[in-house]
Structure 1
Amino acid sequence: MRHVRHGGPYQSDEGSVCPSPGNAELVVIESLLPARSPRLKGEDPEHIQALAETDAQLPPIIVHRATMRIIDGAHRVAAARSRGVTSIAACFFDGTDQEAFALAVRANITHGLPLTHAERVAAATVLIQQNPSWSDRSVAATSGLSPGTVKGVRQRAVPEGARDEARIGRDGRARPTDPIEKRQQIREVIERSPGASLREVAKQVGVSPSTVRDVRCRMQREMGAEEPSALSGSATDRRIDQPAPKLRQVTGQSQVADINATLDSLTRDPSLRFTESGRAMLRWLSTRAVRPGEWHQLVSQLPPHTAYIFANLAQQCADEWGRLALSLKQQTREAG
């Protein structure tokens, strides 16, 4: 959605829709067009009277710049008219008619006279019709309904055959509406092109690389690892899919103790402590040493769509550690 223009930083409809009154512009009330309000019964006379009688400074209204139509603040405009006021503070919204309606709905569930449940359902119906690619959660966040209620509204408002294959969530990412069908498509692509990389398959099917990796792993397990190279993908994919090698069978606590003891011993080594290069190496190593198992809790809390990215990053770091180890071993052999 476009942003509301005002004197401070831009804010989307995810945040406050009421900018600071000191940064608004005065507009002539007669230049404004009526709001395309989500309210089913129009303006509430009692609410207008309450606003007209208050001495409090009311927030600016929001106006669609392209049409001069009121987006938010119809009751405030009516109250100003009843007092004989000819101008009102307003901020302008630059966007489409559909975006303006979504902003109007959002504004009317966050402040002022709240929308009734029936009005929120009616607003959700319009939002779904105007934005069929929005996810249930995105529509719910805008209309003030639960995702489950929005799902029911969508089923009544849009025929099954007319629904989009993917929807855009609140994070801006597109996700398939029928994940089972998408996974079947991934299987078919992998079977046709077993050497294709995760990203190649993901781009062809329209899913995330992590989803492709999950399907590939399931297919490998179903095959019982009888043909380990049949679904191997690219070299990078194989490194990610393979479990970490077990160098030695010791408990995690033993490995932690070994690492801590080694670092402590190096820290006490005079040849390192009293040389600039030695101290620099100790500082570098102390911030990069990874203890066994310390990452478990972090990984379990990651958003699913970032797992593949972190997997690639971890593999790159592991490769670099491997090159460091080889370089140090080479120095040892040359010194010997």
Structure 2
Amino acid sequence: MAILDGVHRFHAAHLRGDTDIAVRFCDEPLEQAFVRTVRENVRHGLPLTHSDRTAAAARILRTHPHWSDRSVARAAGLSPKSVAELRKGARQATDPMHRLGRDGRLRPVDADQRRRRAAEILRSAPGSSLREVGRRAGISPSTVRDVKRRIENGQEPVPERDGESRGAARRKEEEEKPSKGRESARGTDLSDFPALVKRLCHEPSLRNSADGRLLLRLLDLHLVAQQSAARITAAVPAHQIATVAVAAARCRQIWHEMAAEVESNRPGHDATAATKN
């Protein structure tokens, strides 16, 4: 029952002796609620000071470290450059592997480093498949193929980013965008949760519907939880460990039930076999 926006209006109504006030309820996690509060206060009413917006951006970076600089800047009313400086100053020990952009896509933070990692794997284990190297390095098989081609031609695994090379990189990026058929034929390592979330973030039917975006946000939160599990569990006070454990188990049950329901909607699904499983 926290007031996200309209605190002054609430107190004014209270001082007038009003017993009722019109509200709009938002049932969402505290981290999402804070972002909503900042966005609302940036857009209207008494503008937040620069220090307030900077503090808000720093908090959003802590709770949503995978968000791009532009996404955080848009929410907090700062420039992407200011957010980038805040990110550098934060010195986060566990920087996520991907950042979520305003378009709903996950992009790797250290793409060049991943290419070099793929090159090391290819040199040490030349018989490895493109998919295996990609899984270990955190890049797509098509990018591994490009790294392998560059190594065979005596080039650096990371292409130059100026002039014609930059244009070629952009064309390659467009070629790697998933399309119908190619995505299904390519397959996905079901044990690689970040890759699964990334693939779903590329799905237009999910990004263009309210319920689809809700699913992506839920998966996004679980991705953060997976990457920050040690810090999250360490923050639980001793007297609340049992409660948190029960809540976590309930979350697991909810997702298990949802998985069963999604599976039952798949074309050609055998309900009897699923019940046995």
For residue 217 of structure 1, report the CA deviation from its aligned partner. Answer: 3.3
For residue 160 of structure 1, report the CA deviation from its aligned partner. Answer: 5.5
SS in 2 for 1:150: helix
2:111 — aligned with what? 179
Alignment of 1:143 onto 2:73? no
With over 3 angstroms needed to count, the CA separation of the structure-2 counterparts of 1:185 and 1:301, relative to structure 1, is closer
% identity of equivalent residues: 43
Instruction: State the distance in 2 between where 1:89 and 1:211 align.
Output: 54
Instruction: State the distance in 2 between where 1:180 and 1:302 align.
Output: 17
1:139 alignment partner AA: V
1:262 — aligned with what? none
For residue 101 of structure 1, report the CA deviation from its aligned partner. Answer: 0.6
1:82 — aligned with what? 15
Which structure has more strand as a fraction of its residues?
1
SS in 1 for 2:21: strand
For residue 312 of structure 1, report the CA deviation from its aligned partner. Answer: 8.1
Instruction: State the distance in 2 between where 1:310 and 1:77 align.
Output: 50
| One of 153, 160, 170 as aligned partner of 2:102 | 170
Normalising by structure 2, report the TM-score. 0.52
SS in 2 for 1:167: strand
Moved >6 Å (runs of 4+): 299-303
2:66 alignment partner AA: S
2:153 alignment partner AA: R
For residue 193 of structure 1, report the CA deviation from its aligned partner. Answer: 4.4
Alignment of 1:112 onto 2:45? yes
Instruction: After superposition, give the CA deviation of every residue in 1:263-284 in whole Å (9 maximum; x if it has no partner).
Output: xxxxxxxxxxxxxxxxxxxxxx
For residue 83 of structure 1, report the CA deviation from its aligned partner. Answer: 3.0
Instruction: State the distance in 1 between where 2:169 and 2:133 align.
Output: 26
2:138 alignment partner AA: G
Structure 2 stretches lacking a partner, 5+ long:
156-167, 186-277
2:243 — aligned with what? none
1:309 — aligned with what? 178
For residue 207 of structure 1, report the CA deviation from its aligned partner. Answer: 2.4
Matched positions, count: 173
1:201 — aligned with what? 133
2:85 — aligned with what? 152
SS in 2 for 1:90: coil
Instruction: After superposition, give the CA deviation of every residue in 1:277-318 in whole Å (9 maximum; x if it has no partner).
Output: xxxxxxxxxxxxxxxxxxxxxx998793653536985xx9xx
Kept after mapping to 2: 8 A contact 1:210/1:305: no
1:204 alignment partner AA: R
For residue 196 of structure 1, report the CA deviation from its aligned partner. Answer: 4.5
Instruction: State the distance in 1 between where 2:169 and 2:137 align.
Output: 27
Normalising by structure 1, report the TM-score. 0.44
With over 3 angstroms needed to count, the CA separation of the structure-2 counterparts of 1:162 and 1:310, relative to structure 1, is closer
| One of 130, 133, 142 as aligned partner of 2:63 | 130
For residue 205 of structure 1, report the CA deviation from its aligned partner. Answer: 1.9
For residue 78 of structure 1, report the CA deviation from its aligned partner. Answer: 2.3
1:334 — aligned with what? none
1:219 alignment partner AA: I
Instruction: After superposition, give the CA deviation of every residue in 1:70-126 in whole Å (9 maximum; x if it has no partner).
Output: 111212212322333221111221221111111111111222222222211110011
2:122 — aligned with what? 190
2:112 alignment partner AA: I
Instruction: After superposition, give the CA deviation of every residue in 1:190-242 in whole Å (9 maximum; x if it has no partner).
Output: 3344455544433222223443343233223327xxxxxxxxxxxxxxxxxxx
2:72 alignment partner AA: V
2:77 alignment partner AA: G
1:46-125 to 2 correspondence within 5 Å?
A: 68-125=1-58
